[in-house]
Amino acid sequence: MSNYSSSATKTDLTLLLECLKFQMKCPDLQKQALLTIHSICEKKGNNKTRELGGVTFLYNLSKSSVVHSDVKETALFTLGTLAEANVYCKHSLCRKEIFMDIVRLLTQEDASLNQKRVSVYLLFVLVSQNKSGQTLAQTTGCLETLMELFRSTFPFSAVDNLRNVNQNYQLWASVSIALCGCVNNPQNEEGQRVCVAAFPIVKTWLQQISVPSTETFQPICSFIAMTVSSNAYVQESFAACGGLETLTVALLRIVSTSDTSLLSRQVSVIIVKTLSACIADNSTLASGLAQYDLVNHLFFLLASTHLDPEDRLSVLLTIGECTGASESSLNICEEVKRAATFILQTCKKASKQTFVFSVRGMGIENWFLFRTSSLCSNSMAVVFFLGCVLTFEDVTSRTFASFQSSCENSCDMHRVLQEATERFRMSHLNCGVRQDQKSVAAGHADPSSAKAPTPTLQRSCEKLCGKCVVFTFLVQN
């Protein structure tokens, strides 16, 4: 059955490619053939199109001067689908000349908005989870071109009318996502340093936004979070230009209405997660936020009965980062403990059950096993790895990494947990970002559609920037 399916797919793709070659005067038929190729390859993810020479043909078609502009746009979009669905197609497209062509399209004055959007989508696919693609983006000028587009297409300035906002938002949001792919997943410190140049204008945007919305804050905060993630130099740069202060003030302005306004609550959570990335593993920056009484505002947000459990956990952990770095916040540590206990209790399913939580901050990128058990007396929690036993008092989020790396009796579980951490950081952004980027790019098939995509990137970025911790916890009944 599988052989028949493979043979049928090859036959279908061959006929569709022939249709493209012999229907040069029928752009509608060519576009339909391209979308059918897109549909087949998106679902099956095979390498047949490349083996049949389809990738090269589609690339040449996107550059042809004798085909309709709609066909060029659809060809670029289909190339992005092929590269996303099959790693061999992606590698075959990771060439200097293709990146140079993308730069040319993005800087071409008469290029349509849709053509730029699908070009950005193709670029995003080529750099996502691809270190060599990220390098090509830097060396060919793609990264700088994206930075310029990010600055120049911001759709919410005071001089823009509603029509301009609708026309530019999807391109701007798509560029933001592509920049995230260029600097993270995998982390690219050189790319992060390049993006520091955009911090001053990002700060200005945050100051100018009078009516907060997820459409404005999500792309901005995603860019900030991915750029500062795990990079102390970039964190310091963002703080030095006033960005960290401006982001904090924006949160204080919005959080006061979070209990009664769904929009304020959503934007507050987005900012909280971004702040967490900005101060992660940086006690100096974290302690500097004490002057804004940030912790009390975070507790106000945490107390909201409408907050989602995952968002509540993110707020709680940001509180932990702030209180762990600031002596002035030590008097509320008991409140933090009670809040943490409450959240853990709500996740309890039964005694002797393993819980897994996605936890950010506290300077750790390791997996802890935290489960209910009766292994020790006095209700003492134990962190253990198949025979490696430490009392909970001996282990903190800042010391566990050294314990794990220096353990003389390293076991298979140690290695599994270390590998799982990296897989977690690598995988979660890719899923959400690709869905957002494709929703932005796919609009080229319906140019009349001006509806902005529903952003989901921030949650994915939070998971990527976050540190995943798994606890083994003894809940005393």
Q: Are residues 312 and 345 in the same domain?
A: yes
Q: Domain for residue 417, yes or no?
A: yes
Q: Domain for residue 358, yes or no?
A: yes
Q: Are residues 229 and 107 in the same domain?
A: yes
Q: Domain for residue 373, yes or no?
A: yes
Q: Domain for residue 146, yes or no?
A: yes
Query: pLDDT tens, 82-121?
Result: 999 999 999 999 999 999 999 999 999 888 899 999 999 9
Q: Are residues 164 and 23 in the same domain?
A: no
Instruction: State the burial class of residue 330 (Cβ atoms within 10 Å of its Cβ: 0-12, 13-18, 19+).
Output: exposed
Percent of the chain at pLDDT exceeding 90: 45
| Residue 350: pLDDT over 50 | no
Q: What is the mean pLDDT of residues 295-299?
A: 90
Q: Domain for residue 87, yes or no?
A: yes
Q: What is the mean pLDDT of residues 55-75?
A: 92
Q: Domain for residue 476, yes or no?
A: no
Q: How far apart are CA 59 and CA 313, in angstroms?
A: 46
| Residue 302: pLDDT over 70 | yes
Indicate the pLDDT class of residue 230, thresholds 50, 70 and 90.
very high
* Token code pair at residue 411: 């076991």
| Residue 397: pLDDT over 90 | no
Lowest mean pLDDT among 165-174, 299-308, 462-471: 462-471
Q: Domain for residue 477, yes or no?
A: no
| Residue 362: pLDDT over 60 | no
Helix (H, G, I), strand (E, B) or coil at 365: coil
Indicate the pLDDT class of residue 128, thresholds 50, 70 and 90.
very high
Q: Are residues 136 and 50 in the same domain?
A: no
Q: Are residues 6 and 60 in the same domain?
A: yes
Q: How far apart are CA 425 and CA 462, in angstroms?
A: 10
Minimal CA–CA distance to 178: which of 227, 112, 108, 236? 227
pLDDT the model gives residue 343: 56
Q: How far apart are CA 207 and CA 95, in angstroms?
A: 40
What is the DSSP code string of 215-274? Answer: HHHHHHHHHHHHHHTT-HHHHHHHHHTTHHHHHHHHHHHHHTTTTT-HHHHHHHHHHHHH
Q: Are residues 139 and 82 in the same domain?
A: no
Q: What is the DSSP letter of 443?
A: G
Helix (H, G, I), strand (E, B) or coil at 389: strand
| Residue 235: pLDDT over 50 | yes
Residue 414's CB is within 10 A of a number of other CB atoms, namely 18
User: Contact 359/319 with Cβ under 8 angstroms?
Assistant: no
Q: How far apart are CA 145 and CA 141, in angstroms?
A: 6
* Token code pair at residue 288: 């500097």
Q: Are residues 246 and 159 in the same domain?
A: yes
- Asked if omega into 447 is within 30° of 0 (cis), the reply is no
Q: Are residues 270 and 394 in the same domain?
A: yes
Question: Where in the sequence is the domain holding 83, given as residue range(s)?
Answer: 1-93
| Residue 320: pLDDT over 50 | yes
Q: What is the mean pLDDT of residues 161-184?
A: 83
Q: Are residues 417 and 332 in the same domain?
A: yes
| Residue 375: pLDDT over 80 | no
- Structural domain count, the chain: 2
For the chain, what is the mean pLDDT? 76
Q: How far apart are CA 174 and CA 441, in angstroms?
A: 8
Q: What is the mean pLDDT of residues 228-251?
A: 96
Q: How far apart are CA 244 and CA 250, in angstroms?
A: 10
DSSP E strands, 386-459: 388-391
Ramachandran angles phi, psi of 390, nearest 5° = -135, 140
User: Contact 302/319 with Cβ under 8 angstroms?
Assistant: yes
Q: How far apart are CA 443 and CA 373, in angstroms?
A: 52
Query: pLDDT tens, 245-288?
Result: 999 999 999 999 998 899 999 999 999 999 999 998 898 998 88
The residue among 70, 93, 116 that closes a domain is 93
Q: Are residues 116 and 61 in the same domain?
A: no
Q: How far apart are CA 90 and CA 96, in angstroms?
A: 13
For position 212, which CATH number holds?
1.25.10.10
| Residue 173: pLDDT over 70 | yes
Residues 6+ apart with CB under 8 A from 471: 344, 355, 357, 368, 369, 370, 371, 383
User: Contact 356/466 with Cβ under 8 angstroms?
Assistant: no
Q: Are residues 246 and 368 in the same domain?
A: yes
Angle between the 54-63 and 2-22 helix axes, to the nearest 10 degrees?
30
pTM over the 0.95 mark: no
pLDDT the model gives residue 149: 96
pLDDT the model gives residue 423: 56
User: Contact 41/82 with Cβ under 8 angstroms?
Assistant: yes
Residues 6+ apart with CB under 8 A from 323: 295, 329, 330, 332, 333, 336
Indicate the pLDDT class of residue 13, thresholds 50, 70 and 90.
very high
Q: Are residues 304 and 383 in the same domain?
A: yes
The residue among 93, 122, 153 that closes a domain is 93
* Token code pair at residue 415: 């290695």
| Residue 127: pLDDT over 60 | yes
The residue among 93, 126, 158 that closes a domain is 93
pLDDT the model gives residue 437: 58
Q: What is the mean pLDDT of residues 287-306?
A: 89
Q: Domain for residue 474, yes or no?
A: no
| Residue 382: pLDDT over 60 | no
